[in-house]
Structure 1
Amino acid sequence: MKQAIVARVDIGMGTGKLAAQVAHASLSAYEDTGERARREWKGGGQKKVVLKGDGESQLFELADVADREGLPYAVVRDAGHTQLDPGTVTALAVGPGPDNVVDKVTGDLSLL
């Protein structure tokens, strides 16, 4: 079991902002995960990878694939209090889910 978080690299988020957006995405997708999958993922060390995303349209395309694969996912939009305009899409979390299914969605992306 793992979770993949895709963070946009095209909008110039600072390191702290990026870390916060990744955390928001991870937690939001986790909350939409079934209890059995939650236990399995937590028991396995909560494996995560953070990947580079090229833009908003890519994140929505990946979210559609995750939905078709039956994976939990979460798209994060920034509140706009600091570096970004309100509503800016910053990150997507896919999973937790089986490694091979998460890889069907995000396996072609590079590590951040």
Structure 2
Amino acid sequence: MDFSYKMVIAVRWDLRLSAGKMAAQVAHAAVNCALAAKKKTPEWFDRWYSEGQRKVVVKVPNLEELFELKVSAEDLRLTTSLIVDAGMTEIPPNTVTCLGIGPGPNDVVDRVTGHLKLV
């Protein structure tokens, strides 16, 4: 199946999160982005949802680059969700862990995240 829409979650690689912690943070970003996009860009959300909700997880080296992605995504009118951890387990409270982007058309999302490596 060809996918025309996707969501990308960018994870801070400098935090060295455990697999379980990373999965939870990525899930937070995906849920938040989906709910926000359903209101903000319902046509994109509906198309993404009907295609099977493609999600891609990529890594960014640090917080600064995560914020740069956020600005770039919002400049293109993509939905974003910045995830800040409560600090109950492996990392200090208020640590920014990841950024959800989209869902949106592949070509638009790729302008922001296409250069990043997969997790």
Instruction: Provide the aligned length of Structure 1 versus Structure 2.
Output: 112
- Two-structure CA RMSD over aligned residues (Å): 0.8
Aligned pairs (5 A) from 1:24-103: 24-33=28-37, 34-103=41-110
TM normalised by structure 1 equals 0.97
Unaligned runs of 5+ in 1: none
The Cα shift of 1:35 comes to 2.3
- Residues of 2 paired with 1:9 and 1:39: CA distance? 31
Listed one character per residue, the Cα deviations across residues 38-86 of structure 1 (whole Å, up to 9, x for unaligned) are: 2111101101110011111111100000000000011101000000101
Aligned-residue identity in percent:
42
Q: TM-score if structure 2 supplies the norm length?
A: 0.91
- Structure 1 or 2: more helix by fraction: 2
Q: Which runs of 5+ in 2 are unaligned?
A: none
Q: Which amino acid aligns with 2:33?
A: A
Matched, 1:17 2:21: yes
CA–CA separation in structure 1 for the residues paired with 2:88 and 2:82: 18
